[in-house]
Amino acid sequence: MRIADHVLAMMDRVSPPEVVHAHCDLPCGVYDPAQARIEAESVKATMEKFNDSKDETFKVRATIIKEERADLVKHHLWVLWTDYFKPEHLEKYPQLHDLFWKATKTAGEAKKTNDVAVGERLLAQIAEIDGIFWETKK
């Protein structure tokens, strides 16, 4: 065990750390669907590159990257859904729950296919979430 680990362990005994839940180590209050959109754009672009390539090694790499990016889409959507949106948002936008459910399911579907239409559908769902998000920020 490193010295720093020993120091942290001793500090925890003196003053136990407070448990907090946020999308990062410091609850900053900064949320934006752009994070999910950028990852979804990467998913779609990687699908296109996969379909345009004849190089099997490249296709394997593209699939791995696409799957990682699709997981990041799900992560960013879950952060928005669980940390940003509140009951009052759901009252005003009753379609939110279904929209997030469909978008995260589509991100999961994107991991299993290289059909660009799935990537386009994911981007459209995120765009709808984005519109509602910015309405709530007014």
Average pLDDT score, the chain: 89
Residue 42's nearest CA partner among 123, 103, 100 is 123
pLDDT of amino acid 85? 93
DSSP letter (8 states) at residue 27: -
Question: Is the pLDDT score of 15 beyond 60?
Answer: yes
For residue 30, being part of any structural domain is answered with yes
Question: Which structural domain range is residue 81 located in?
Answer: 25-136
For residue 11, being part of any structural domain is answered with no
CATH code for the domain in which residue 88 is found: 1.20.120.400
Where do runs of H (alpha helix) occur along 15-115? Answer: 34-52, 56-79, 87-92, 96-112
For residue 19, being part of any structural domain is answered with no
For residue 130, being part of any structural domain is answered with yes
- Given pLDDT bands bounded at 50, 70 and 90, which one contains residue 8? low
- Taking only the tens place, the pLDDT of each residue in 46-56 is 999 999 999 99
**Contact by Cβ (8 Å): 125, 28:** no
- Domain count along the chain: 1
Question: Is the pLDDT score of 22 beyond 90?
Answer: no
**Contact by Cβ (8 Å): 62, 46:** yes
For residue 96, being part of any structural domain is answered with yes
